[in-house]
Structure 1
Amino acid sequence: MQQITSYQGSVYGGLGDLLLRYCQANQLPAPTQLLHVQNLPRFDYQVWYQLLNELDQQHNQPALGLDIAQYVELKHLGVLGYLAQSCEHLGEALLRYHDFYRLIYDGSPLIFNKNQDHLIIGWDVPKVFTTQVTNEIAIAIMYQFLRHFLHIDDVALIQVDFMHPAPKDTMIYQRYFGCPVLFSQPTAQIVLPSQILSKPIRHADQTLQHLLMAQAQTLLEKLPHTTQLDERLQQAILKQLQKQQLNIEVIATQLHTSVRQLQRHLQSQNTTFQARVQAIRQMLAFKYLQDPHLSLQEIALLLGYSEQSAFQRAFKLWTQQTPQQWRKHNVM
């Protein structure tokens, strides 16, 4: 499996241990890349994405993300898990979870919306960068966190939404979450009753919370800074791929900035515009090649290449394999 240098961030190393625990508990062979990331404090978000997809393809387990999440322990969430557990009530815990969520997933912002009746927790990640299993595990870990680590035993979800099409057996999801589950929705999210925010937490400890907040803030400051400009740049590149207008002048105009300012911003992150474009293309190429219905010519066009041969040359530079070879060994 090829590791991608991604603009999308990293994940907490404990999530690698979670996947290994799942494999061991089910007597499944662990992917080679999973063994490589064990004991790392963090690893690339795209490695996480690829590991989940590899497990999904190899084991063909319905609702795999829900099954994996049942093995999550507090240690898999690091300081954030212990910090939330030290809060006095659920509202305070979710506030801490929101503020320090990047310590678990750096690159997939957590969005909270609240009105008089409902609390909505959503994951702000473009659909092209997710799969059903990546969404499953994000939502299921949140659900397990509420029930087992904050001891909110009577969590009654109102609704769960997934972005991807409905699988064959949707009842697995309704039994797991105990509420209606919708598919092909604009956002991956869970909906809870707003009154749940006042639920007390059994292990509240304000002194411990202050210590853990200082630790979490120190860890957060060590992560690379992701700005709104990065998110807008990502969206602009995605929109321009099929138009084959991937030059920095067009993108800078769309972002209402100058080419020089955009280049300076990218240099501060030790990257370039072309490297950012190639990272997105490479990530999407892996996703599109997993769809057996897409021809190489169609994939080349989706990635913004005017000719299939240009896509094939680029792919071989990324992986030392042709797209056909990669598809043969990675798509079941």
Structure 2
Amino acid sequence: MGYVTSLFPRKVIAAVGPVVDGPNLLRGLGLEPDAPWDPKIMVPVTVYYDMLERIAETVDPTDLPLKVGASMRCDEYGALGLAWKAAPDLMGSLARIERYARVWTSVVEYELRPDPRGVLLVLQRAGARRLGLRLSNETSLASAVSIARQVSPVPFAPLEARFQHPPPRTLTHHENWFGCPMHFDSDLDALLISHEAARQPNILGDEGITRFLISHLDEELSEIAGEDTLETRSKAAIARALSEGLPKMADIARGLGLSARSFHRRLSEQGLSFQTLTAETRRELAEGLLRDERYSLAEVAFLTGFSEQSSFTRAFKRWVGRTPASYRKVHGTG
């Protein structure tokens, strides 16, 4: 199950106002209405989507993501918000969003993608395109614009904003907030930011503070509780796909809510490669299946992505130094 920071639902309810029963909605998320706002407290993303959709039954949600985005403040994000401020330029702030988004959500990945006109800040979120997810995507990119405006010494607007879902009944609210052309039914959820804006020095850019905060955030990332590592999630996805043959990196990345480029980059940062992960997954899965004698050798070969048992036998002997049949004699449990 994915999670998002409780800051988002609290901001949503504050933006809607007394039209809805805010305290009751917060309690439905497991939050105490009068408790301090702590961005480190997480809520299940599906429950958050449910809350957004319940609110949409009461009020027109067209401009709700924009109100929430406008209300976001760097300081409310703790060390991450300070790291955005202290980055030398807007590109540095965007790079921190790309790297440290997992501090406040486990369901969204950001990717900086080169574009002839500048750089794309691409938002990647897996899941069915239900209303709650669509509103959440708009909120996330509206928040990114709000943060960019807070760190920039000059007025900021992206060159364009893109969303994969259909447009609302009117674009007026979005055009006024983003200050740029809007493209719905797009192939991406993204902001296109000009080279000039990306190079704009931040108001409070400070290299010394940045080094301290980055060290703190790296430590915080490593201590995030209850989240499987990228290696673990990748191996699980590869194992599920092997019965259809050797999976492609792009397909596994898509299932994890990442682009192939972002997936490759994140694996490389951890000293991993997709080819190595696939080989390790096949070997580990084969060893586990061979211990269970309910599976025939032919079935083990099929479930580990081999079209022929002979190919599996040769690969397994290369991996562990003995044939599958010999391994089963020693390790099988019956």
**Do residues 230 (structure 1) and 233 (structure 2) align?**
yes
* Distance in 1, Cα, partners of 2:21 & 2:51: 12
Deviations 1:72-121 (A, max 9, x none): 22243232111110122112222222111111222211011124422101
1:296 aligns with none
Unmatched tracts of structure 1, length 5 or more: 1-5, 238-246, 265-332
Deviations 1:237-285 (A, max 9, x none): 9xxxxxxxxx887368657654953998xxxxxxxxxxxxxxxxxxxxx
> Do 2:95 and 2:112's aligned partners in 1 also have CA atoms closer than 8 Å?
no
Equivalent residue, structure 2, for 1:32: 24
Task: Give the CA deviation at 1:23.
Answer: 4.0
User: How many equivalent residue pairs?
Assistant: 245
Deviation at 1:167, TM superposition (A): 1.6
Measured after TM superposition, the shift of residue 142 of structure 1 is 0.4
Alignment partners' CA distance in 1, 2:181 and 2:87: 30
Query: In structure 2, what is the Cα distance between the partners aligned to 1:228 and 1:63?
Result: 38
Q: Is the 8 A contact 1:89 1:199 kept in 2?
A: yes
For the 8 Å contact 1:87–1:201, the answer to whether it is kept is: yes
Establish whether residue 182 from structure 1 lines up as the match of residue 174 from structure 2. Answer: no
Question: TM-score, normalising length from structure 1?
Answer: 0.64
1:94 aligned residue: 94
Match of 1:135 in 2: 137
1:19 is the counterpart of 2:26: no
Q: Sequence identity, in percent?
A: 15
Contact 2:107 2:126 in 1 (8 A): no
Q: Is 1:220 matched up with 2:221?
A: yes
C-alpha deviation, 1:179, in angstroms: 1.3
- Secondary structure of the residue aligned to 1:100 is helix
Cα distance change, pair 259–177 in 1 and its aligned pair in 2 (3 A): same
- Alpha-carbon shift at residue 50 of structure 1 (Å): 2.4
* Structure-2 separation of matches of 1:95 and 1:54: 34
Contact 1:120-1:191 at 8 Å conserved across structures: yes
**Off by >4 Å, runs of 4+ in structure 1:** 231-234, 251-257
> How many angstroms apart in 2 are the aligned matches of 1:157 and 1:249?
42
Judged with a 3 Å threshold, the aligned counterparts in structure 2 of structure 1 residues 74 and 123 are, in CA distance, closer, same or farther, namely same
**More contact order relative to length (CA 8 Å, sep ≥ 6):** 1
Structure of higher CA gyration radius? 2
Distance in structure 2 (CA, Å) of the matches to 1:173 and 1:190: 13
Distance change (3 Å), C-alpha of 1:115 and 1:71? closer
2:12 touches 2:64 (CA, 8 Å); kept in 1? Answer: no
Say if 1:252 and 1:173 are closer, same or farther in 2 by CA, change over 3 A. Answer: same
What's 1:261 paired with? 285
What is the RMSD of the two structures over their aligned residues, measured on CA atoms? 3.1
Query: Bigger CA drift: 119-128 or 49-58?
Result: 49-58
Which sections of structure 2, spanning at least 5 residues, go unmatched? 33-37, 253-277, 289-334
SS in 2 for 1:61: coil
State the Cα distance separating 1:146 from its structure 2 match.
0.5
Give the Cα separation in 2 of the matches to 1:231 and 1:50: 28
Shifted more, 179-188 versus 206-215: the winner is: 206-215
When structure 1 is superposed on structure 2, of 179-188 and 121-130 the one drifting more is 121-130
Alignment of 1:178-327 (within 5 A): 178-223=179-224, 224-227=227-230, 230=233, 250=243, 254=247, 257-258=281-282, 261=285
CA distance in structure 1 between the partners assigned to 2:244 and 2:64 by the alignment: 38
Indicate if the aligned counterparts of 1:87 and 1:209 stay in contact, CA closer than 8 A.
Answer: yes
